Amino acid sequence: MILLNKLQNPKVKPAAFILLAGLLLVCVPHFSHLPIWLSLVMLSLLVWRSCYELQLCPIPGKAILFILTVMLITGIVFSYHTIIGRNAGSAMLLGLLCLKLFEIKSYRDVFVIINLALFSIVINFLFNQSIIVAVTMIFAVLFLFTALISYQHNYKKLSEIQPVPIPVIKSNEKNHFSLAFKMLVQAIPFAIILFILFPRVDGPLWGLPEDAFSAQTGLSDNMSPGRISKLSNNTSVAFRVKFDSVTPPPPDKLYWRGPVMWNFDGYNWTAPSNERLAMHNFQFTALGDKTRYTITLQPHNKYWLFALDIPATLPPNSIFSADMQVLSRSRVQKLKQYTLDSYTKYQLPAINRLPMDQYLKLPANKPSNQQLSKSRDLISQLKDHSNPQNTVNNVLNYFATQNFYYSRQPPLLYDNPVDEFLFETKRGYCEHYASSFTVLMRLAEIPARVVTGYQGGEINPIDQFMTLRQSDAHAWSEVFIKDKGWIRIDPTAAIPPGNIENTEDALRINSTQKKPDKLFKKSWLTEQIKQVRFAWDAVNNRWNQWVLGYNNKQQKALFTALGIKEISWQGLSQLLFSFLAVLTAILAYIVFSNKTKESTDTQRYYAKFLRKMAKHGLDKEATEGAINFAERAAIRFPQYKSSIDKITTLYQQLRYDKFSDEKLLLFQKFVNSFKPG
């Protein structure tokens, strides 16, 4: 109740709340990366200012403000150990922006705040370029513009000394809002032209500080099975694939190769970087047709480019490593798109000249613990000396029959992870299986390595893009068998379906075994949720393909499609400025021609009045003057004579006398409130 009364207080300025709402919209997306204390401080500062606007509490004086500022800066220095760089810099700016709210003494301060807030909108895109942030920022601009217009309007009213009190109706925030909206809409053509024609360069236009890329999620270049007790269920997109062919390769071929790990110290698998040898003339025999696909890779700040085995071509600026991985020459720090050809059926050369020692290396035995002793016993039973392939099958069979479970939350493993897993816990996810399988192979003197990457992928029925999520991350093994070369073994797939704890996982894992999905019935609700997710994913994908993925290559492609073969950035700039000039000229013509806002707005509302009259059976002749019509209308509806006369008089004044905003507002009000019948 108190709040309501306060809101109705004429001293309470709605413009202030519009400004605060705009600021809130600017700040909210930042909360995901700001320290929690800073998010809370910013929120409370915004709330404090709102309470002041509602005249519920005072604002801090200069001394308190100074102390707050010092505390804020100290806090940021403690959190980030610096005040420069993307993260600390933006935290600083946003915090100070919220503090600036308590320094409003004149209109100038308000305008400073609004300008800073507009700048902070740009900062948001340094962190997140998703469609949600973009839409939120559009609303933020809308609110900030409305606040700007409202403040400007009040400012004008105060500075103008009006000799005669004219019947001004109170300036209306709704109108300011629609004006701000109109301004945004008018800016759209400019934005489109700038977007399409602004010369794109290969690298980023300006350098971002290093910390801008620190917190990307994704695969890592080391793996420690048993150290993490819970597999995260991160459904964020890793990359999207569009196959040229109508049907994608079968699920058992959908292994997207990422980092290959071969160095094992008993706990950790790592992929030492010195192994990255470019292999220019990699030889293999293709057994089937090649598959062409385009990958849109989310930035992960690593060098890996994912590919199906075995790529026949390489994207530009990339290399092919000795362990068959495609690597970019520079870190993938923004959305990257590349097209590849892969042969999913292949025969590797029987003899590989690589030294095999590294793929047989086992962790050195320490006297303190008897690492791998049980595994050694096991493999001596399972090993087939004459045929390594039999050894592989025996081990897989061991996984299938000895009560192994697939679990997202396996027990932790300590001193002897491989043995503990194989003989005690028997619960784990892909990393556990890949790791222990590889170790068993090495114990059997079969060269083996762990391959990480993504497996499977979900085809979005809406746009036929295949999506690979972080939760699709997978680890499997590769063994080297003489005469066959490296072959892929996925030990996780050996687990019987009944031993998988989670239905979704069972579906995913068994998809590689081509078992029918019908085993697992899905509820109607999950099906619906899935459909919504598909749709949302398709939208996100379009956003990625068309907006974020619009680079110089696509710009070139666009111009080629338009018949312009070669266009330099100078040409683009010329084109850009000529388009902008033409657009400005068109807008100027619209603004300055006689069909101005004034006459059109007046006419629009008068037409609304006429429609209302027409509903009651009284039509105005096109050749009839407004006053003549009003006289006719007053005879027909004497009870509305006064409103009809008011509307008509205002219409005549607006259209044929001097136009004024105040009169237009009054006119709009009368027309809107006119309700005959």
By the criterion CB under 8 A, which residues form the site for other proteins? 594, 599, 622-628, 652-653, 655-658
What's the CA dihedral at 200, 201, 206, 208 to 10 degrees?
A: 100
Q: Looking at 573-633, which runs of residues are DSSP E strands?
A: none
Which residue's CB is nearer to other proteins, number 152 or number 653? 653
Which residue's CB is nearer to other proteins, number 483 or number 621? 621
Three-class SS of residue 264?
A: strand
Minimum CB–partner distance for residue 156 and other proteins (Å): 25
Minimum CB–partner distance for residue 182 and other proteins (Å): 22
Which residue's CB is nearer to other proteins, number 82 or number 653? 653
Continuous segment of H or E residues that includes residue 627:
helix 626-636
State how far the Cα of 166 lies from the Cα of 663, in Å rounded to an integer: 10
Which residue's CB is nearer to other proteins, number 283 or number 623? 623
Minimum CB–partner distance for residue 653 and other proteins (Å): 8
Residues 6+ apart with CB under 8 A from 79: 35, 37, 38, 88, 91
What's the CA dihedral at 436, 441, 445, 450 to 10 degrees?
A: -80
Minimum CB–partner distance for residue 635 and other proteins (Å): 16
Minimum CB–partner distance for residue 93 and other proteins (Å): 48
Q: Are 474 and 455 in contact (CB under 8 A)?
A: yes
Minimum CB–partner distance for residue 598 and other proteins (Å): 9
- In sequence order, what DSSP letters do the residues of 190-254 get, joined into one string? HHHHHHHHSPP-SS-SSPPPGGGGTT--S--SEE-TTT-SS------EEEEEEESSSSPPPGGG-
Which residue's CB is nearer to other proteins, number 533 or number 632? 632
Encoded tokens for 663? 């009169």
Which residue's CB is nearer to other proteins, number 330 or number 599? 599
How many of the other CB atoms lie within 10 Å of CB of 347? 12
Which residue's CB is nearer to other proteins, number 556 or number 646? 646
| CA 1 remoteness from chain centre | 41
Minimum CB–partner distance for residue 660 and other proteins (Å): 13
Q: Looking at 482-551, which runs of residues are DSSP E strands?
A: 485-489
Minimum CB–partner distance for residue 637 and other proteins (Å): 20
Residues 6+ apart with CB under 8 A from 436: 225, 375, 418, 421, 422, 491
Name the DSSP letter for residue 11. T
Which residue's CB is nearer to other proteins, number 518 or number 658? 658
Name 337's bridge partners: 296
Encoded tokens for 530? 């899935």
Which residue's CB is nearer to other proteins, number 564 or number 627? 627
